Amino acid sequence: MLPSRRLAVIALAAATVLLAADRFAQARGWTLIGKKAGITVTSREVQGRGFPTFRGVGVIAADLFDVLAVLSDIKRHPEWLERAKDVRLVRKINEREYVVYGRTDAPWPVSDRDAVYRSKTAVDLAKKTVTVRFWAVKNASVPKRSGVVRMDNLRGHYIFKALGPKRTRVEYQVDADPGGWLPKWIAKMATKWLPQRTLEGLRRQVKKTAGCAAYKARIARWRAGKY
């Protein structure tokens, strides 16, 4: 197959995957709010809450485990995670589970938000899928900060699906009640640009760290099914 034709086939396959995601989302009550740079953003209203659940879906031109390596490198999350001001490991439970503290830099005049959350990774080598779920927990070792709104109602996930040796579908979803005062226009804006920019940032970081020596050992363990 000629290179140009191969690229056309790959582009068509990616478009088909994203179209299927759009149709599935709409069937489950999700509303399309944006499509840019191959990333589809949808949202779903939550009764009694002004901030909807949001989801971003896109494809990253990288191996599944290269993407997972970036996500598992918690101390470097502020390099790519949209509006991340402070992210640090609170406690390592085991190779798949962590307790993490994260603070989000909110635009003026809104107060910053933070959360303590537990993250758990599940790997299915047969299906070439990785699911990373996270949810808010209470932790006495991380007290609330003055002027920062603690989000006690937060949950979400990343789902990575290998589409090929160097192609990974990524789904990023967050269901949170940000609490405190939050203007409707900021809530509406954040619903769109948080998933969009987070996935764009993840793409850049994966490209930046591809072949990183610090990740090689852990990727080798994952490929061997050792966690």
The residues facing 153 across adjacent strands are 177
How confident is the model at residue 190, as a pLDDT? 85
Q: Return d(Cα 90, Cα 219) in angstroms, integer.
A: 23
Residue 75 DSSP label? G
Tell me how far CA of residue 41 lies from CA of 56, 63, 144, 173, in angstroms: 4, 23, 31, 10
Three-state SS at 6:
helix
How confident is the model at residue 169, as a pLDDT? 98
How confident is the model at residue 27, as a pLDDT? 45
- Spacing of C-alpha 16 from chain mean position: 22
Q: Return d(Cα 202, Cα 217) in angstroms, integer.
A: 21
List the one residue out of 49, 48, 22, 34 whose CA is nearest residue 187: 49
List the one residue out of 61, 64, 65 whose CA is nearest residue 10: 61
Dihedral pair phi/psi, residue 68, rounded to 5°: -65, -35
Helices in the chain by DSSP H: which ranges?
3-27, 64-72, 184-209, 213-223
pLDDT in tens, the chain (227 residues): 445 555 444 445 555 545 555 554 444 689 999 999 999 999 998 877 778 899 999 999 999 999 999 999 999 999 999 999 999 999 999 989 999 999 999 988 899 999 999 999 999 999 999 999 999 999 989 999 999 999 999 999 999 999 998 999 999 999 999 888 887 778 778 888 999 999 999 999 999 998 889 999 999 988 888 77
How confident is the model at residue 51, as a pLDDT? 81
Tell me how far CA of residue 210 lies from CA of 43, 164, 205, 214, in angstroms: 31, 16, 8, 10
Q: What is the pTM of this model?
A: 0.84
Tell me how far CA of residue 71 lies from CA of 100, 169, 170, in angstroms: 12, 14, 12
ω before 178 within 30° of 0 (cis)? no
How confident is the model at residue 25, as a pLDDT? 46
